[in-house]
Amino acid sequence: MKSVVILISGRGSNMAALIDAAADGALPVRVAGVLSNRPGAPGLEIAARRGIPARAVDHARHPRREAFDAALAEAIDAWAPDIVALAGFMRILGDDFVARYAGRLINIHPSLLPAFPGLHTHQRALDAGVRVHGCTVHFVTPALDHGPIIAQAAVPVLDGDDADSLAARVLAQEHRLYPQAIRWFAEDRLRLIGARVALDAAQEGGASLVSPRVSARG
């Protein structure tokens, strides 16, 4: 069984979805630990209540990004994870850090990438007048929110939506999509082919789930 370390900055709702899916047996991974760059992040307490080791690596104590990245990597490596999952982790990671975990560093982003990378995605989607919005799970690369896409889930943008109502609908899909994508990784069903991701065996999920193209091995 593969192990995962989850990085958070705040409440950790996607973290909780991963922990609960692992506890229920729906996600065949062991959550080795949770790390936050904020000592007061509510998600640390949530993880601890679920019996998951949780600690902070305070970015404020490391003024230089390289020093913070090194301290964070040391904490991650103490658990020797197969997967490092960013779940609302709000720090930009340096190129050396990303290279260290290349191919096993995964993020979930609240938009249908490549649309709306960065922050305030829901309001930007509304301002742009899009009719479909959603979330993306992708491998992390040095380019912000532009790594190879593993899976996406879409929701309609409804008349009368504001950023909060749209965010809530997207978040419900995030909680479904992230465990599914991590499960594909844990089952060795994902393959990177250049900048694209292929999924071995039958595609799963409902109509709102847009997965990688399915391919046969060999």
Annotated catalytic residues are: 109
8-state DSSP, 66 = H
Burial class (CB in 10 A: 0-12, 13-18, 19+), 13: middle
Q: What angle do CA 149, 74, 72 make, to 5 degrees?
A: 55
List Cβ neighbours of 82 (8 Å cut-off, separation of 6 or more). 2, 3, 4, 29, 104, 186
Q: Which residue has the tokens 């391919």?
A: 215
> Under a CB-based contact definition with an 8 Å cutoff, are residues 214 and 167 in contact?
no
Q: Extract the tokens encoding 54.
A: 């949780």
d(CA 84, CA 61): 22
Distance CA 90, CA 84 (A): 15
